[in-house]
Amino acid sequence: MLNIFTPAEAQRTILRRDHWLQRELPDSLKERIRRIFGEALTPEQAVSRILLDVRSDGDAALRRWTERIDGISLQQFAVPTAQIAAAAATVHGDLLQALQLAAGRIRDFHSRQPLPDWTTTEMGGILGQRVTPLRRVGVYVPGGTAPLPSSLLMSVIPAQVAGVQEIVVATPPARSSGGDGGSVSAAILAAAHVAGIETIYTLGGAQAIAALAFGVESIPGVDKIVGPGNLFVTLAKQQVYGLVGIDGLYGPTETLVIADDSADPAWVAADLLAQAEHDVLATAILLTASRDLAQAVQYEAGRQLEQLNRGEIIAASLENQGGIVLTADLDEAARLADAFAPEHLCLDVADPPALARKIRSAGGFFFGGHSFEVLGDYVAGPSHTMPTGGTARFASPLNVLDFVRINSIVALDAATAAQLSGAAEVIAAAEQLTAHAAAARLRAVSRLRTRNQND
């Protein structure tokens, strides 16, 4: 189940970064596309068809695609606000308390992120930066097969901290509801109530992204769409980017653990199994220089798996994307981890900070066995929406900066403008932009005339 690889073997297999969107589609997905659209289409073509239909036919298209894809007939998209408030009373008290704890920690963490306005008069006149929040943001929350209230909190609260004026949520109707009307999980509604969200649309998939991006009769368009989703949600975000902003394109989730002999093999195995539980495409990998630890983790994973209710999913994930890499030392483990750039990097070693200084690329660092990734999923504080697929080389976890614009302020005085105009004219001439050069020369000449008149 958890195979042990050499570093060379791992780099050819589980540590190889083939983009997840280029993987061969399962036959079941190809058949579903053929059944829904009446012909064989690529996922990109299927998404494009939905987007174009929603753009031209608005609400009617949303209802058609929801019925065709989800098997649910929607009479209205917005969840009544009274239903959102009532959900908090229907969920188990322990869940409500857990959501409130998570919300408080997420808000506290993101409230500490600085968003500085600044100006300087040391460069001639006034130069500076102004930070302004976005006006309207759409948050996509997966929930068709399993409710994910944590994803709502992790996306909504950083936007609130940033000062976004209006935040709306789109989440698919629960598959179990069936029939007419659809419904949203009480857990998601309770999370919305805890976060103070009053607008939730019962929409999923590419059609939800289309509604948020284009705006339809019942749903105004937004400035930015954030949140993870399935393949069709991700492709839809990719295709509407430019018309609206997006936070990123998220693939299957992944955790990479680096551990030494100080780690508890039962804990390490549990963390790998928890990651593999997400879906069959999830990645859970252990890097260690200790053969004893590798074998102990291998044994523990097999033993613990027997007690878990998603055993088939976990086994498939570990068989195809997971494994244990036996490295020469921790330095080699660090080099492999840095090249892989995982979404979650768990450093279950004697000195996590020292090892972390050797690694630049990871969505989130988790130091020690007590800072395990499951806490990051729910209640630690940082958003669990993190870069996947190696994009941690250049991307960041969802944070307050995703919900603001940085405006440059330029208010130069006349003397500085005249002084800089000569250099601007030279550069403009090199670029063969004569109008640019003329505008710069005009200011320089005007300043010279004023100076001569004053003399």
Backbone region of residue 205 per phi and psi (left: phi > 0; alpha: psi in -120 to 50; beta: other values): left
Pairing of strands 283-288, 254-259: parallel
CA distances 270 to 63, 234, 257, 265, 310, Å, are: 42, 29, 11, 8, 13
Element (H, E) at 4: strand 4-5
Structure tokens at 325: 């890499």
Nearest to 145 by CA among 121, 117, 173, 122: 173
Phi first, then psi, for residue 164 (nearest 5°) are: -60, 135
Phi first, then psi, for residue 264 (nearest 5°) are: -85, 115
Structure tokens at 96: 């409500």
Active site (catalytic) residues:
343-344
Q: Please work out, in degrees rounded to the nearest 5, the angle formed at the alpha carbon of residue 417 by the alpha carbons of 416 and 419.
A: 60
Number of Cβ within 10 Å of residue 304's Cβ equals 16
Phi first, then psi, for residue 131 (nearest 5°) are: -105, 120
Nearest to 150 by CA among 195, 87, 196: 195
8 Å CB contact between 364 and 397: yes
- Identity of residue 125: G
DSSP one-letter string for 176-244: TT-TBT----HHHHHHHHHHT---EEE--HHHHHHHHHH--SSS---SEEE----HHHHHHHHHHBTTB
8 Å CB contact between 181 and 72: yes
Backbone region of residue 389 per phi and psi (left: phi > 0; alpha: psi in -120 to 50; beta: other values): left
8 Å CB contact between 155 and 385: yes
Nearest to 248 by CA among 149, 140, 144, 388: 388
- Identity of residue 189: L
Whole-angstrom distance, CA of residue 283 vs CA of residue 273: 10
